[in-house]
Structure 1
Amino acid sequence: MFIKDENYFKIKEFERNNITAFFTRKSFFERNTLKDLLPKNKIFISAYQKHTDVVKDISKTENRDYFEGVDGFITKRDDVVLVTKHADCLPIFFYDKKEKVIGMVHSGWKGSFQEIGLKTLNLMEKNYNSLRKNIIIGLGIGISCEKYEVGDEFYENFKSKFSYEIIKKSFKSYDGRKHFDNCEFNKLNFISNGILKKNIIVSKECTFEGDFFSFRRDKNKERNYAVIYFNKKSLVI
């Protein structure tokens, strides 16, 4: 469950495992900067995102804190903070409650089409022996289906790649125009690829309508931040 706070929306299920996971609100930046929210003794990991499907493992041997052309991170390190930037694109939070791995991904329609979420799971499996039954995923906050109008070519591209069941539930029609539900698409794609439905937390907030920066609405460079990090040794639930 996403819980509203003065500065951000945090994910309750992650908090129970001593994982801080949150998405900033627009009003927060009227008074503060992101670093005001972050622990002073941790390394701030971020990237110049390019709507890719590239996910970086911040391993013990990694000594950089900024990456170009990367749209997601995973790590077991408790000395780092993973950060991605969003303005309607979907943030995806990951936590393997057994192997103690966290992840953070920026998934706009390009990332979703390229299945950056599944590539994150694959990397967690490859590098840390994660099992999908043990992974909790938080989806949101992004633009809602009602505010995300798309064209016929967009629809046909997704239709040619993904199953009928996923497409049927991910696209809706409003006043004869097609709209895309990025959150629902990722939820269904995760479930069809081994993530337990009970382990997926979904936000009902919308960046276009809520207290968030929205590129479709504002047409500027302001961004919301999605953040995840270990508080201390986490517990299995």
Structure 2
Amino acid sequence: MEPFVKQVKEGRPVLFTIASWMEQFSELTVGFTSRHGGVSRAPYSTLNCGLHVNDLPEHVVKNRELIAEAIGQPFEAFTYAEQVHGNEVTVVGLQEKGKGRASRESAIQAKDGFITNEKGIVLCAQFADCVPLFFYDPVKRVAGLAHAGWKGSVLNISMATISLMTHTFGSQPADIRAAIGPSIGVCCYEVDETVASRAYKVLTDVKASPKEQLAVITDKGNGKYMLNLQELNRKLLREAGILSSHIEVTQLCTSCSSALFFSHRKEGGPTGRMIAWIGLL
């Protein structure tokens, strides 16, 4: 069953929530935006959340405000970073609350993963094909979010996030729930040998079996490969101690569904960004 459930309300942005998490954990808000229900104009139409893609800043901020209103959380709670396709993860406390929501200059700098145990903070990360990774420890009440493109994936940002949850707040991997959100699928993600070799290396490092490697990388025989970033991250999550039964994986491909999501690869030019969000109420 698809874990990301479409939420459509008249006059509101179209959102996807991890409905099962929010039903089980009433203290949580968590989900992913679409490209519909905002004020941006083409080629960013309409719910662009990225301030770095040359859209009008006032449109981006308005879109972010509309999302906050739709989620039912104050705009001041939404916290953003300048993402750099790395594996640096940081703890977000009350001092960081609201950073980056209205300007890039005020954002948390050079981070791609975030964790918090503070109520009233909504962690946000931006996407247009890369893999959103969601984390929640219901025992210690710690929420996390990571941005995993191919670089962040092979740098094992999932392990970095889980390690920080463990060392900072005492989370146990077996307690943590994880979800892999809408992103470019193996159906659409062709890469070259440079990228494939990096993926092979991380799979070798975690002693992936030939069958597991084949599930992640398909050699097309022409120096090109099809890469399954969702499956790579699922393998790395399991290696970090997350139970298979605690990992949710989307079937939504941002490239196949570019009418619903922004896709940097499919659109091949200027386009917008969705956000993933998670917060403790």
Q: What's the counterpart of residue 161 of structure 2?
A: 120
Q: What's the counterpart of residue 178 of structure 2?
A: 137
For residues 42-96 of structure 1, the C-alpha deviation after alignment (integer angstroms, 9 at most, x for no partner) is 5221011110111110134556722121111100111211000001000011000
1:34 has 2:75 as partner:
no
Q: Rate the CA distance shift 1:54–1:64 in 2: closer, same or farther, 3 A.
A: farther
CA contact (8 A) 1:41 1:79 kept: no
Candidates 43, 47, 57, aligned match of 2:77: 43
CA contact (8 A) 2:79 2:97 kept: no
Candidates 26, 29, 35, aligned match of 1:20: 29
Candidates 41, 53, 66, aligned match of 2:87: 53
Q: What's the counterpart of residue 209 of structure 1?
A: 256
Candidates 68, 81, 102, aligned match of 2:122: 81
3-state SS, counterpart of residue 67 of structure 1: coil
1:157 has 2:157 as partner:
no
Aligned-partner Cα distance in 1 for 2:87–2:78: 21
CA contact (8 A) 1:85 1:224 kept: yes
Question: Offset at 1:167?
Answer: 2.3
Amino acid at match of 2:125: T
Aligned-partner Cα distance in 1 for 2:170–2:96: 19
CA contact (8 A) 1:90 1:140 kept: yes
CA contact (8 A) 2:255 2:263 kept: yes
3-state SS, counterpart of residue 68 of structure 1: coil
* Cα-Cα RMSD: 1.9
CA contact (8 A) 2:81 2:109 kept: yes
Question: Offset at 1:189?
Answer: 1.3
CA contact (8 A) 1:158 1:167 kept: no
Structure number, greater radius of gyration = 2
CA contact (8 A) 1:91 1:226 kept: yes
Amino acid at match of 2:122: V
Candidates 223, 229, 236, aligned match of 2:279: 229
Amino acid at match of 1:51: H
Identity of aligned residues (%): 27
Runs of 4 or more above 3 Å deviation: 60-64, 173-177
In the superposition, the TM-score normalised over structure 2's length comes to 0.77
Aligned-partner Cα distance in 2 for 1:41–1:207: 26
Aligned-partner Cα distance in 1 for 2:144–2:97: 18
CA contact (8 A) 2:79 2:96 kept: no
Question: Offset at 1:179?
Answer: 0.5
Q: What's the counterpart of residue 68 of structure 1?
A: 109
Candidates 214, 224, 227, aligned match of 1:168: 214
Q: As a proportion of its length, which structure holds more strand? A: 1
Q: How many residues are treated as equivalent by the alignment?
A: 231
Q: What's the counterpart of residue 235 of structure 1?
A: none
In the superposition, the TM-score normalised over structure 1's length comes to 0.91
CA contact (8 A) 1:82 1:228 kept: yes
Aligned-partner Cα distance in 2 for 1:228–1:161: 28
